[in-house]
């Protein structure tokens, strides 16, 4: 399985995304009263879903 990344890299990237989901809001959006925090989480989640789909598709295909 020589897809986009190894399973270890995928897990490390997943942990990194989770850390980003908590660290960035506390640093930049701690007083946000608009939809910027929701937008940030939505965009980051969507990017991770796309990466996961590509990772799983390439893993199943090979």
Q: Which tens digit of pLDDT belongs to each residue from 10-49? A: 889 889 998 988 888 888 878 877 888 888 889 999 999 9
Using pLDDT thresholds of 50, 70 and 90, give the confidence band for residue 61: low
Q: How confident is the model at residue 58 (pLDDT cuts 50, 70, 90)?
A: confident
Task: Check: CB of residue 31 under 8 Å from CB of residue 23.
Answer: no
What span, in angstroms and rounded, lies between the C-alpha atoms of 1 and 7? Answer: 9
Do 10 and 1 contact (CB within 8 A), yes or no?
Answer: no
What's phi and psi for 29, nearest 5 deg? -115, 25
Instruction: Calculate the CA 56 to chain-centre distance.
Output: 15
Residue among 14, 15, 12, 36 at smallest CA distance from 25:
36
């Amino acid at each position: 399985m020589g897809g986009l990344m190894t399973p270890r890299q995928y897990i490390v990237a997943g942990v990194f995304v989770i850390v980003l989901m908590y660290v960035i809001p506390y640093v930049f959006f701690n007083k946000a009263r608009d939809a910027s925090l929701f937008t940030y989480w939505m965009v980051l989640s969507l990017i991770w879903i796309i990466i996961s789909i590509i990772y799983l598709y390439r893993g199943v295909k090979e």
